[in-house]
Chain A
Amino acid sequence: MHTKTIAQLAKGLQAGDYSSVELTQSYLERIKQHQNLNSFISITEEQALTTAKQADQALAQGNAPLLTGVSIAHKDIFCTQGVKTSCGSKMLDNFIAPYNATVVEKFNAAGVVTLGKLNMDEFAMGSSNETSFYGSVLNPWATDTVPGGSSGGSAAAVAAHLAPGATGTDTGGSIRQPAALCGITGLKPTYGRVSRYGMIAYASSLDQGGPMTQTAEDAALMLQIMAGFDPKDSTSVEREVPDYSSDLNNSLAGLKIGLPKEFFDAALNSEMAATIEAAINEYKKMGAEIIEVSMPNLKLAIPAYYVIAPAECSANLSRMDGVHFGHRCTNPADLNDLYIRSRGEGFGTEVKRRILVGTYALSEGYYDAYYIKAQKIRRLISDDFNKALTEVDVIMGPVTPTPAFGLGEKISDPIEMYLADIYTIAINLAGLPAMSIPAGFIDNKPVGLQIIGNYFAEAKLLNVAHQYQQVTDWHQQTPKGFE
């Protein structure tokens, strides 16, 4: 049962082949059996079984929504009422969310069961899941390597079949990079497509939630529930949500694929380049046309990101002050001491680095040179993509420069870690939707293919991804020991 996709499970539940309680119990058992992966921070067994019972009643009555009784898990960045929502930080280790994120609310309303909350880099800052207060997550494909980050728990759990799907968030690659390193499908929607309400903010102008699944078909089903305008999110976009499953089977004959030459320069290792080229050849066989495009400002994406994201995070995390919720130091001498020690004890090293850089960039006299400059570069990068997308339907390339790297390999050199996001960060700056889909293996480690589309072209991306998954079986591979 556990290797089935969300689409298959939904059918099985609707047909009465098994109950939601049976399905939920089987996943809960697997989660406990594979706790060594450290992919879950909280397991919500009791609530899961209660919801599953309600789902079974709804299914018995008929007319239950499509995903009723299917179980998923949420990245621990999404607030879940009455359940610890830690964001991977000691700061929020004692934080029981008083309300649900809109995304959580929507899954609940659709009858979907929540198995628990997934491990992640602290406050979503990291590319390896090693900055979590709750420890590293192991990559099920090679347990001495990282699962990627920041949605590392989500990616590892789906790859190991501890949940058929999970939510993730992506500020600079945090859905796509772990999806690539764990061999699953991940979709970062257009900025503003999925509500950020109750999704603990890191960099508000970049953050976007999305689905992490085995297949593109499943990503379409999850996005259908997640997407939509939310008056509670001030940057949410008011725009109709299309049927994301209806275009999946469209032919790709005549599809124009842009390959940015800057994606395939010397920085990309030859095995990665060969794997991506093989994937693009599959598209050629399906009738796609390949066009070279250029992104001259791409090299500035990491510099601009490491101003914008830290600046916004330093502002967002100022609310973690030990006064209203979260960690408070013992015996503060005065209010300043309370702030300084509570924050000093509550945050880990990477979060502190980014708060410091952000505070510096926003401090008097530096705002124009850093933040405004970065916002201008952001427009140049966005213009590069927009220009390319007038000539092609989608842009393709690698997600990461290498497959999963070793645990501990990059954690002591933050700059080295930042450079691992070279292919994903620019897309967040532009606000475009993008996917990562499994496209092969190097030394038994998964490789992801990135597909980038125009604003609100999620249905097109899902179509392009689904067609590839009809002619390849990379997405159906299961790591040893998790069959």
Chain B
Amino acid sequence: MSLTADDVNKIAYLARLGIDTQDTESYAKDLSGMLDLVAQMSTVDTDNVVPMAHPLGQVQRLRPDQVSEENQREAFHAIAPQVEAGLFLVPKVIE
């Protein structure tokens, strides 16, 4: 499996991940290498195997629908890049 620099740019956009133009070729090479490594998986027949998500087969625990967390807005705003009037600030989204 071989990825091109164009593929890398597409995947990087899906991940919203900035990549320097001069590095795309080397990412394409490394990612192709990783996919070659991963391709060994296809040597095994897994048609009747159940996928394993939790080693102990545990399913998601449910809890009563009750408020358990306190509001910590100030603590969380204290570490945010930009806040104003009690809100997280980002560039304008809607014109």
Report yes or no: A98 in contact with B50, Cβ–Cβ below 8 A. no
Contacts of B3 in A (CB 8 A): 360
Interface residue A240 (Cβ < 8 Å from any Cβ of B): no
Interface residues in B, total, Cβ within 8 A: 52
Contacts of B20 in A (CB 8 A): 344
Contacts of B75 in A (CB 8 A): 98-99
- Closest Cβ–Cβ distance, residue B38 to chain A (whole Å): 5
Interface residues in A, total, Cβ within 8 A: 74
17 A-B pairs with C-beta separation under 8 A: A95-B79, A323-B81, A334-B93, A336-B16, A341-B18, A343-B18, A353-B27, A356-B31, A372-B51, A376-B46, A376-B50, A379-B50, A382-B52, A414-B34, A415-B30, A415-B34, A430-B55
Contacts of A363 in B (CB 8 A): 11, 14
Interface of A is mostly: helix
Q: Which of B13, B37, B40, B80 contacts A418 (CB 8 A)?
A: B37
Q: Which of A99, A235, A307, A321 contacts B41 (CB 8 A)?
A: A307
- Closest Cβ–Cβ distance, residue B53 to chain A (whole Å): 6
Contacts of B38 in A (CB 8 A): 303, 306-307, 361, 370, 374
Contacts of A353 in B (CB 8 A): 27, 30-31, 34
Give the residue name and chain of the B residue nearest to A351 (CB): B17
Report yes or no: B53 in contact with A352, Cβ–Cβ below 8 A. no
Q: Which residues of B contact A (CB under 8 A)?
A: 3, 8, 11-20, 23, 27, 30-31, 33-35, 37-42, 44, 46, 49-56, 58, 60-61, 63, 72, 75-76, 78-82, 88, 90-93
- Closest Cβ–Cβ distance, residue A374 to chain B (whole Å): 6
Report yes or no: A356 in contact with B56, Cβ–Cβ below 8 A. no
Report yes or no: B91 in contact with A376, Cβ–Cβ below 8 A. no
Besides A328-B82, A347-B17, A357-B34, 20 new A-B residue pairs in contact (Cβ under 8 A), listed by A number: A98-B76, A99-B75, A192-B58, A237-B56, A303-B39, A303-B40, A306-B37, A306-B38, A323-B88, A325-B79, A325-B80, A333-B91, A338-B90, A338-B91, A344-B20, A353-B30, A353-B34, A356-B31, A373-B42, A415-B37
